[in-house]
Amino acid sequence: MSIKRKTLHGLIWSFMDNFVVLGVSFFIGVILARVLSPREFGLIGMTSFFISLGQSIADSGFMDALIRKKNCTQIDYSTVFYFNIAVGLAWYIILVAISALVASFFNEPQLQILLPVIGLGVIFNALSLIQRTLLTKRLDFKLQTNISIASSMISGIVGLILAMKGFGVWSLVALTLTKNALNTLLLWVWNGWKPIFTINLDSLKELFGFGSKILLVGLINTTYKNIYLAVIGKYISSMELGYYTRADAFNQLPSQNITNVIQRVSYPVLSSIREDIPKLKDGYRKLIKSTMLISFVLMIGMAAISKSMVLTLIGDKWLVSAEYLELLCFVGMFYPLHALNLNMLNVRGRSDLFLRLEIIKKTLAIPTIVVAIYFGVKMMIAVMIINSVIGLFLNSYWSGLFIGYSVMEQINDIFPSFILAISMGILVFLFGLSINMSPIITLFAQIFIGGLFTIGIAELTKLDSYIYLKNILFDQIRKKV
């Protein structure tokens, strides 16, 4: 199978995986938000830092290292598998030991029980890491999609039943653990890989040489992303944290979907052609242009309809979330470009530079935390937008340097898409202000007008990123027919 077909096949199945799974999670979250209170979502938000940190440590960058290594052996996979399990168990013991301190820090006694229970997810994820690595390495996203959909739907039903029966925050805990456990079980049953009983220190050392930088980057990113949740929960309130986490859930539906798809597919594909610089640049450029058209349109469009969307889906008790969502969308729209640029550093084997860039960017972001404590959530998100733009220039400069694709070239390639999206967003936002209808009618009218405007202007101007995506879509339709 050619690189183009492998990429396209991977993109389609990876997109289905992320879209359906995040769509199911989003739908379940909407229903749960109508049953549960912002405070209960806030309690789960307080555990996020510790769970995400544990997952990063358990991974230890080995997944990326194994994907990048061309001739991995059964010894490599088995060694990493046992290491992941050991680290996951060690982190769980730490979670149990510090649960009382965490509850005291947030002044939420319930966290002393919640944290050890929800922390079991770290062990489940450690058990599934090699299975996911093998599937990703051979670009088998179809199986991952089927497993993710099955586990998401079943766990969602479990969470909804418990919420309806009055289990409160425990329904969210049960949803998370059921999803992790089912995902791990199905990967083991359907993928078929089994470890051999061996641990090779030379293999571990070789892989950790590359993976250690990815691990540190993961720890920095996890801390950076979740420190905001800790600050809001500690210095503002669990209620405000609930509003923020709901807004972020809306924001992540498109932004994380696009980012996850691009990261999962582009890294193994681009790694396979990393020695052919002209071919690498051409493929990379097409990815950036098409990806950012989708990202700009979806994220700026969501910012424009945030109020009517929140009112329609989860009700007026969550209206504060709409104000946060408007701003978070301008952070999320750059996520895919960050991911692509950082992926390129890994493709070229520069995980050391990846690490240095992340340290610089996160150091610059420290004032954001201070802003959150003294000026509130809205100002915190505004500073996050500034940090995202600064980080974008840093990432683009260094990744482009390796393949002759400068920052200005990248800006020129994505600027037409940005202008189209921002024009659409202004039109949709002003339309929402000008009419006096129910939230649901306003929402559908805004979506219709935004879609019509975007497609119409893209057709009239012959926007190349739009034409590229349209041709791919029509090619796939013709093949099916």
pLDDT in tens, 407-424: 888 899 999 999 999 999
**pLDDT block averages, 10 residues each, the chain of length 481:** 52 59 78 87 87 79 75 84 89 94 91 94 89 79 81 91 92 94 91 84 77 72 79 84 90 79 66 69 82 92 95 91 95 87 74 76 75 81 87 81 82 93 96 91 96 95 86 67 51
Same domain, 282 and 418: yes
Give domain status of residue 234, yes or no: no
How is residue 445 annotated by DSSP?
H
Question: Which ranges constitute the DSSP H helices of 237-376?
Answer: 238-272, 277-313, 319-332, 335-347, 351-364, 366-375
User: Tell me, what's the pLDDT at 351?
Assistant: 66
Same domain, 17 and 124: yes
Give domain status of residue 246, yes or no: no
Give domain status of residue 263, yes or no: no
What is the distance between the alpha carbons of residues 280 and 272, in angstroms, rounded to a whole number? 9
Angle (nearest 5°) at CA 284 between 280 and 285: 120
User: Tell me, what's the pLDDT at 336?
Assistant: 86
Same domain, 178 and 297: no
Give domain status of residue 241, yes or no: no
Domain extent for 128: 1-220
Contact 253, 327 (CB under 8 A): no
User: Tell me, what's the pLDDT at 356?
Assistant: 80
For residue 129, the surrounding DSSP H or E stretch is: helix 120-137
N-to-C CA span, the chain: 21
Q: How many CB atoms lie within 10 A of CB 101?
A: 11
Same domain, 216 and 277: no
Q: How many CB atoms lie within 10 A of CB 431?
A: 17
User: Tell me, what's the pLDDT at 171?
Assistant: 94
User: Tell me, what's the pLDDT at 49?
Assistant: 82
Same domain, 279 and 211: no
Helix orientation angle between 141-164 and 169-191, rounded to the nearest 10 degrees = 150
Same domain, 211 and 289: no
Same domain, 154 and 85: yes
User: Tell me, what's the pLDDT at 179?
Assistant: 93
User: Tell me, what's the pLDDT at 149?
Assistant: 85
User: Tell me, what's the pLDDT at 238?
Assistant: 83
What is the distance between the alpha carbons of residues 57 and 48, in angstroms, rounded to a whole number? 14
What is the distance between the alpha carbons of residues 295 and 287, in angstroms, rounded to a whole number? 12
What is the distance between the alpha carbons of residues 295 and 75, in angstroms, rounded to a whole number? 40
User: Tell me, what's the pLDDT at 288?
Assistant: 86
Angstrom CA distances, 177 to 149, 172, 173, stand at 15, 9, 6
Contact 47, 172 (CB under 8 A): no
User: Tell me, what's the pLDDT at 237?
Assistant: 81
Q: Find the length of the chain.
A: 481
Give domain status of residue 264, yes or no: no
Task: Indicate the residue among 154, 188, 220 that finishes a domain.
Answer: 220
Domain count, the chain: 2
